[in-house]
Amino acid sequence: MNTRKFRLKNREEILAILGEDEEDLRELERALKVQVYVKQHPETESADLTLKGNPAAVEKALTRLQQALESFYTNRLSQEDARPEIIPPLPEGVLYKTNFGVLIKPRTGNQEIYTEAIRSHPMVVGVGPAGTGKTYLAAVCALRALHSKEVKRIVLTRPIIEAGEKLGYLPGDISQKVHPYLRPLYDAFHDLVGPDKFRSMRAEDLIETVPLAYMRGRTLENAFIILDEAQNTLPEQMKMFLTRMGMSSKIVITGDLTQIDLIEKDRSGLLLIKDILKKVPAVKFVNFTGKDVARHPLVKEILAAYEKWEKKN
Protein backbone atom coordinates (compact mmCIF):
# COMPACT_ATOMS: atom_id res chain seq x y z
CA MET A 1 0.00 0.00 0.00
CA ASN A 2 1.28 3.46 -0.95
CA THR A 3 0.59 6.82 0.76
CA ARG A 4 0.71 10.30 -0.83
CA LYS A 5 -0.22 13.79 0.39
CA PHE A 6 -2.13 16.52 -1.45
CA ARG A 7 -2.66 20.02 -0.01
CA LEU A 8 -5.56 22.40 -0.62
CA LYS A 9 -4.44 25.93 0.24
CA ASN A 10 -7.74 27.76 0.68
CA ARG A 11 -11.54 27.53 0.82
CA GLU A 12 -12.05 27.82 -2.91
CA GLU A 13 -9.70 24.91 -3.60
CA ILE A 14 -11.49 22.84 -0.94
CA LEU A 15 -14.89 23.53 -2.52
CA ALA A 16 -13.56 22.80 -6.00
CA ILE A 17 -11.94 19.47 -5.11
CA LEU A 18 -14.20 18.08 -2.39
CA GLY A 19 -17.54 19.19 -3.80
CA GLU A 20 -20.71 19.38 -1.71
CA ASP A 21 -20.50 16.91 1.22
CA GLU A 22 -17.26 15.56 -0.31
CA GLU A 23 -19.24 13.66 -2.98
CA ASP A 24 -16.53 14.27 -5.62
CA LEU A 25 -13.92 12.71 -3.34
CA ARG A 26 -16.07 9.67 -2.60
CA GLU A 27 -16.59 9.16 -6.34
CA LEU A 28 -12.81 9.26 -6.85
CA GLU A 29 -12.39 6.61 -4.14
CA ARG A 30 -14.94 4.32 -5.75
CA ALA A 31 -13.56 4.75 -9.26
CA LEU A 32 -9.89 4.10 -8.41
CA LYS A 33 -10.31 1.95 -5.30
CA VAL A 34 -8.24 4.25 -3.09
CA GLN A 35 -8.87 5.76 0.32
CA VAL A 36 -8.74 9.53 0.81
CA TYR A 37 -8.62 11.03 4.30
CA VAL A 38 -9.31 14.74 4.77
CA LYS A 39 -7.88 16.88 7.58
CA GLN A 40 -9.18 20.44 7.51
CA HIS A 41 -7.44 23.35 9.27
CA PRO A 42 -10.12 25.98 10.11
CA GLU A 43 -7.55 28.47 11.40
CA THR A 44 -5.89 28.72 7.95
CA GLU A 45 -8.92 27.57 5.90
CA SER A 46 -6.74 24.89 4.27
CA ALA A 47 -6.89 21.09 4.13
CA ASP A 48 -4.55 18.12 3.76
CA LEU A 49 -5.60 15.03 1.81
CA THR A 50 -3.93 11.68 2.48
CA LEU A 51 -4.28 9.14 -0.35
CA LYS A 52 -3.77 5.45 0.42
CA GLY A 53 -3.97 2.36 -1.78
CA ASN A 54 -2.29 0.48 -4.58
CA PRO A 55 0.74 2.57 -5.76
CA ALA A 56 -0.51 2.85 -9.35
CA ALA A 57 -4.04 3.77 -8.21
CA VAL A 58 -2.73 6.37 -5.76
CA GLU A 59 -0.61 8.02 -8.46
CA LYS A 60 -3.58 8.06 -10.83
CA ALA A 61 -5.79 9.62 -8.13
CA LEU A 62 -3.12 12.24 -7.41
CA THR A 63 -2.95 13.11 -11.10
CA ARG A 64 -6.73 13.51 -11.27
CA LEU A 65 -6.72 15.84 -8.26
CA GLN A 66 -3.98 17.98 -9.82
CA GLN A 67 -5.88 18.13 -13.13
CA ALA A 68 -9.11 19.07 -11.33
CA LEU A 69 -7.32 21.91 -9.54
CA GLU A 70 -5.74 23.18 -12.76
CA SER A 71 -9.13 23.04 -14.49
CA PHE A 72 -10.70 25.01 -11.64
CA TYR A 73 -8.17 27.85 -11.93
CA THR A 74 -8.43 27.89 -15.73
CA ASN A 75 -12.22 28.22 -15.54
CA ARG A 76 -11.97 30.93 -12.87
CA LEU A 77 -9.62 33.00 -15.02
CA SER A 78 -12.05 32.71 -17.93
CA GLN A 79 -14.90 33.92 -15.71
CA GLU A 80 -12.83 36.85 -14.44
CA ASP A 81 -11.96 37.86 -17.99
CA ALA A 82 -15.65 37.79 -18.88
CA ARG A 83 -16.62 39.96 -15.90
CA PRO A 84 -17.54 43.52 -16.94
CA GLU A 85 -14.73 45.97 -16.23
CA ILE A 86 -16.94 48.88 -15.27
CA ILE A 87 -20.37 49.21 -13.73
CA PRO A 88 -23.17 50.50 -16.00
CA PRO A 89 -23.53 54.30 -16.14
CA LEU A 90 -25.60 55.61 -13.26
CA PRO A 91 -27.38 58.93 -12.70
CA GLU A 92 -25.26 61.67 -11.15
CA GLY A 93 -24.77 61.19 -7.43
CA VAL A 94 -25.89 57.54 -7.46
CA LEU A 95 -23.37 55.05 -6.08
CA TYR A 96 -25.00 51.76 -6.94
CA LYS A 97 -28.06 50.10 -8.44
CA THR A 98 -29.20 47.05 -6.48
CA ASN A 99 -30.36 43.80 -8.06
CA PHE A 100 -33.88 45.00 -7.28
CA GLY A 101 -33.43 48.26 -9.23
CA VAL A 102 -33.09 50.55 -6.19
CA LEU A 103 -30.67 53.45 -6.67
CA ILE A 104 -28.34 54.01 -3.71
CA LYS A 105 -26.81 57.40 -2.98
CA PRO A 106 -25.61 59.32 0.10
CA ARG A 107 -28.42 61.03 1.98
CA THR A 108 -26.41 63.37 4.21
CA GLY A 109 -23.30 65.50 3.99
CA ASN A 110 -21.30 63.15 6.19
CA GLN A 111 -22.34 60.19 4.07
CA GLU A 112 -21.03 62.02 0.99
CA ILE A 113 -17.73 62.76 2.77
CA TYR A 114 -17.54 59.10 3.84
CA THR A 115 -18.08 57.60 0.37
CA GLU A 116 -15.69 60.08 -1.23
CA ALA A 117 -13.08 59.24 1.41
CA ILE A 118 -13.46 55.53 0.63
CA ARG A 119 -12.92 56.28 -3.04
CA SER A 120 -9.80 58.38 -2.47
CA HIS A 121 -8.11 56.79 0.59
CA PRO A 122 -6.72 53.29 1.15
CA MET A 123 -8.05 53.25 4.71
CA VAL A 124 -11.17 54.90 6.12
CA VAL A 125 -12.56 54.78 9.67
CA GLY A 126 -16.27 55.57 10.05
CA VAL A 127 -17.35 56.28 13.63
CA GLY A 128 -20.87 57.09 14.75
CA PRO A 129 -24.22 55.84 16.06
CA ALA A 130 -26.26 52.98 14.65
CA GLY A 131 -28.29 53.67 11.53
CA THR A 132 -25.95 56.24 9.97
CA GLY A 133 -25.11 53.99 6.99
CA LYS A 134 -21.51 53.20 7.94
CA THR A 135 -21.66 49.48 7.16
CA TYR A 136 -24.23 49.70 4.37
CA LEU A 137 -22.33 52.33 2.39
CA ALA A 138 -19.06 50.43 2.92
CA ALA A 139 -20.78 47.39 1.36
CA VAL A 140 -21.95 49.55 -1.56
CA CYS A 141 -18.43 50.86 -2.16
CA ALA A 142 -17.02 47.33 -1.89
CA LEU A 143 -19.37 46.06 -4.61
CA ARG A 144 -18.49 49.03 -6.83
CA ALA A 145 -14.79 48.26 -6.42
CA LEU A 146 -15.36 44.58 -7.20
CA HIS A 147 -17.46 45.25 -10.31
CA SER A 148 -14.95 47.76 -11.66
CA LYS A 149 -12.12 45.25 -10.99
CA GLU A 150 -10.30 47.57 -8.58
CA VAL A 151 -10.18 44.53 -6.24
CA LYS A 152 -10.57 40.81 -6.76
CA ARG A 153 -12.63 40.04 -3.67
CA ILE A 154 -14.41 41.41 -0.62
CA VAL A 155 -13.50 40.31 2.91
CA LEU A 156 -15.98 40.88 5.75
CA THR A 157 -14.94 40.52 9.38
CA ARG A 158 -15.93 41.54 12.87
CA PRO A 159 -14.92 40.62 16.44
CA ILE A 160 -16.99 37.91 18.07
CA ILE A 161 -18.30 39.67 21.16
CA GLU A 162 -21.74 39.06 22.66
CA ALA A 163 -23.76 42.23 23.24
CA GLY A 164 -24.68 41.95 26.90
CA GLU A 165 -26.08 38.41 26.88
CA LYS A 166 -24.55 34.94 26.71
CA LEU A 167 -25.60 32.95 23.65
CA GLY A 168 -24.02 29.70 24.82
CA TYR A 169 -22.76 26.87 22.64
CA LEU A 170 -23.49 27.20 18.93
CA PRO A 171 -23.54 24.01 16.82
CA GLY A 172 -22.02 23.54 13.36
CA ASP A 173 -18.78 24.40 11.59
CA ILE A 174 -16.93 27.71 11.81
CA SER A 175 -19.14 29.34 9.16
CA GLN A 176 -22.32 28.31 10.98
CA LYS A 177 -20.99 29.34 14.40
CA VAL A 178 -20.14 32.90 13.35
CA HIS A 179 -23.24 33.35 11.18
CA PRO A 180 -25.30 35.10 13.92
CA TYR A 181 -22.46 37.57 14.58
CA LEU A 182 -21.97 38.40 10.89
CA ARG A 183 -25.68 38.68 10.20
CA PRO A 184 -25.72 42.52 10.05
CA LEU A 185 -23.11 42.37 7.27
CA TYR A 186 -25.12 39.67 5.48
CA ASP A 187 -28.24 41.85 5.68
CA ALA A 188 -26.51 44.69 3.84
CA PHE A 189 -25.42 42.42 0.98
CA HIS A 190 -28.79 40.65 0.85
CA ASP A 191 -30.38 44.05 0.32
CA LEU A 192 -27.89 45.00 -2.40
CA VAL A 193 -27.48 41.80 -4.43
CA GLY A 194 -30.10 39.42 -3.02
CA PRO A 195 -29.58 36.29 -0.85
CA ASP A 196 -29.04 33.90 -3.79
CA LYS A 197 -26.42 36.08 -5.46
CA PHE A 198 -24.71 36.65 -2.12
CA ARG A 199 -24.47 32.88 -1.51
CA SER A 200 -23.12 32.42 -5.03
CA MET A 201 -20.48 35.12 -4.53
CA ARG A 202 -19.41 33.49 -1.27
CA ALA A 203 -19.18 30.07 -2.93
CA GLU A 204 -16.98 31.59 -5.65
CA ASP A 205 -14.88 33.28 -2.92
CA LEU A 206 -15.66 36.72 -4.34
CA ILE A 207 -16.97 37.50 -0.85
CA GLU A 208 -15.33 35.97 2.22
CA THR A 209 -16.74 36.21 5.73
CA VAL A 210 -14.35 35.46 8.58
CA PRO A 211 -14.20 36.17 12.34
CA LEU A 212 -11.48 38.63 13.29
CA ALA A 213 -9.56 36.02 15.31
CA TYR A 214 -8.97 34.01 12.13
CA MET A 215 -7.20 36.88 10.35
CA ARG A 216 -3.88 36.30 12.10
CA GLY A 217 -1.04 35.27 9.80
CA ARG A 218 -2.78 36.32 6.60
CA THR A 219 -1.89 38.96 4.01
CA LEU A 220 -4.91 40.19 2.07
CA GLU A 221 -3.99 41.52 -1.37
CA ASN A 222 -6.32 42.96 -4.03
CA ALA A 223 -9.14 42.95 -1.49
CA PHE A 224 -11.76 45.34 -0.13
CA ILE A 225 -11.80 44.59 3.60
CA ILE A 226 -14.56 45.72 5.95
CA LEU A 227 -14.09 45.49 9.72
CA ASP A 228 -17.48 46.02 11.35
CA GLU A 229 -18.22 46.65 15.05
CA ALA A 230 -14.61 47.73 15.52
CA GLN A 231 -15.40 49.27 18.92
CA ASN A 232 -15.28 45.71 20.29
CA THR A 233 -11.71 45.00 19.20
CA LEU A 234 -8.88 44.96 21.68
CA PRO A 235 -5.78 47.06 20.86
CA GLU A 236 -3.82 43.91 19.99
CA GLN A 237 -6.58 42.71 17.67
CA MET A 238 -6.79 46.07 15.92
CA LYS A 239 -3.03 46.16 15.33
CA MET A 240 -3.13 42.59 14.01
CA PHE A 241 -5.99 43.46 11.66
CA LEU A 242 -4.41 46.64 10.30
CA THR A 243 -1.21 44.78 9.45
CA ARG A 244 -3.09 42.21 7.32
CA MET A 245 -3.38 44.81 4.54
CA GLY A 246 -1.65 43.74 1.34
CA MET A 247 -0.92 45.44 -1.98
CA SER A 248 -3.84 46.97 -3.93
CA SER A 249 -6.19 46.56 -0.96
CA LYS A 250 -8.57 48.95 0.74
CA ILE A 251 -9.78 48.85 4.34
CA VAL A 252 -12.95 50.36 5.82
CA ILE A 253 -13.39 50.21 9.60
CA THR A 254 -16.76 50.98 11.16
CA GLY A 255 -17.87 51.26 14.76
CA ASP A 256 -19.90 53.03 17.40
CA LEU A 257 -18.03 54.13 20.53
CA THR A 258 -21.30 54.26 22.50
CA GLN A 259 -21.78 50.50 22.03
CA ILE A 260 -18.54 49.05 23.42
CA ASP A 261 -19.27 45.57 24.83
CA LEU A 262 -15.75 45.01 26.19
CA ILE A 263 -15.34 44.75 29.97
CA GLU A 264 -12.55 47.37 29.86
CA LYS A 265 -14.20 49.95 27.63
CA ASP A 266 -11.17 52.23 27.57
CA ARG A 267 -9.18 49.43 25.83
CA SER A 268 -11.29 49.54 22.69
CA GLY A 269 -9.05 49.28 19.62
CA LEU A 270 -11.28 51.75 17.79
CA LEU A 271 -10.93 54.31 20.59
CA LEU A 272 -7.14 54.06 20.53
CA ILE A 273 -6.54 54.27 16.78
CA LYS A 274 -8.22 57.65 16.72
CA ASP A 275 -5.15 58.88 18.61
CA ILE A 276 -2.56 56.52 17.15
CA LEU A 277 -3.38 57.10 13.45
CA LYS A 278 -4.74 60.63 13.50
CA LYS A 279 -1.57 62.05 11.86
CA VAL A 280 -1.29 59.37 9.15
CA PRO A 281 -2.37 61.14 5.92
CA ALA A 282 -3.56 57.99 4.13
CA VAL A 283 -6.03 57.20 6.92
CA LYS A 284 -9.24 59.22 6.84
CA PHE A 285 -11.55 59.46 9.87
CA VAL A 286 -15.22 60.33 9.28
CA ASN A 287 -17.46 61.08 12.27
CA PHE A 288 -21.23 60.59 11.99
CA THR A 289 -23.87 62.10 14.27
CA GLY A 290 -27.52 61.46 15.02
CA LYS A 291 -28.39 63.78 12.11
CA ASP A 292 -27.01 61.14 9.72
CA VAL A 293 -29.37 58.38 10.90
CA ALA A 294 -31.19 56.97 7.88
CA ARG A 295 -33.52 54.60 9.72
CA HIS A 296 -37.03 55.29 11.00
CA PRO A 297 -37.34 58.97 12.09
CA LEU A 298 -38.04 57.78 15.64
CA VAL A 299 -34.47 56.42 15.86
CA LYS A 300 -33.09 59.99 15.70
CA GLU A 301 -35.34 61.02 18.58
CA ILE A 302 -34.31 57.95 20.62
CA LEU A 303 -30.60 58.67 20.09
CA ALA A 304 -31.07 62.34 21.02
CA ALA A 305 -32.96 61.36 24.19
CA TYR A 306 -30.24 58.90 25.22
CA GLU A 307 -27.52 61.47 24.53
CA LYS A 308 -29.30 64.03 26.68
CA TRP A 309 -29.81 61.50 29.50
CA GLU A 310 -26.15 60.35 29.39
CA LYS A 311 -24.91 63.94 29.68
CA LYS A 312 -27.04 64.43 32.79
CA ASN A 313 -26.01 61.12 34.36
Per-residue pLDDT tens digits for 146-192 = 998 999 999 999 887 644 334 445 555 555 556 666 777 888 899 99
Same-domain pairing of 42 and 155: no
In a domain, 191, yes or no: yes
* 215 found inside a domain: yes
- Structure pTM? 0.66
The mean pLDDT value of the chain amounts to: 83
Please tell me the predicted confidence (pLDDT) of residue 174.
Answer: 54
The answer to whether 252 and 245 have CB atoms below 8 angstroms apart is no
Confidence at 139, pLDDT banded by 50, 70, 90: very high
Determine, yes or no, domain membership for 98: no
- Tell me the CATH number at 161: 3.40.50.300
Q: Answer yes or no: is 306 within a domain.
A: yes
The per-residue pLDDT for range 254-264, each reduced to its tens digit, is 999 888 888 88
Same domain for 75 and 115? Answer: no
Clarify whether residues 40 and 126 are in a common domain: no
Percent of the chain with pLDDT over 90: 30
The answer on 163 and 287 residing in a single domain is yes
Same-domain pairing of 71 and 166: no
Structural domain includes residue 99: no
In a shared domain, residues 281 and 181: yes
Residue 152 sits in the same domain as residue 291:
yes
Residues 34, 133, single domain; the answer is no
Same domain, 152 and 115: yes
Q: Which of 47, 53, 52, 84 is nearest to 69 (CA)?
A: 47
Q: Is residue 170 a part of any domain in this protein? A: yes
Task: Indicate the range of 45-54, 87-96, 171-180, 226-235 predicted with least confidence.
Answer: 171-180
What total number of domains does the chain contain?
Answer: 2
Q: Which domain holds residue 31?
A: 2-82
In this structure, the answer to whether residues 234 and 304 fall within a common structural domain is yes
- 4 burial type by CB count under 10 A (0-12 exposed, 13-18 middle, 19+ buried): middle
In a domain, 243, yes or no: yes
The beta-strand segments (E) located in the chain are 2-8, 35-41, 46-53, 96-97, 103-104, 123-127, 153-158, 207-211, 223-227, 250-255, 283-287
Task: Examine the fold and report which residue of 47, 82, 117 is the final residue of a domain before the chain moves on.
Answer: 82
Do residues 72 and 132 both lie within one domain? no
CATH number at residue 46: 3.30.1370.10
| Residue 102, domain member (yes or no) | no
Q: What is the pLDDT of residue 240?
A: 92
205 and 277 in a single domain? The answer is yes
Please report the DSSP string for 167-187 in residue order.
-----SSHHHHHHHHHHHHHH
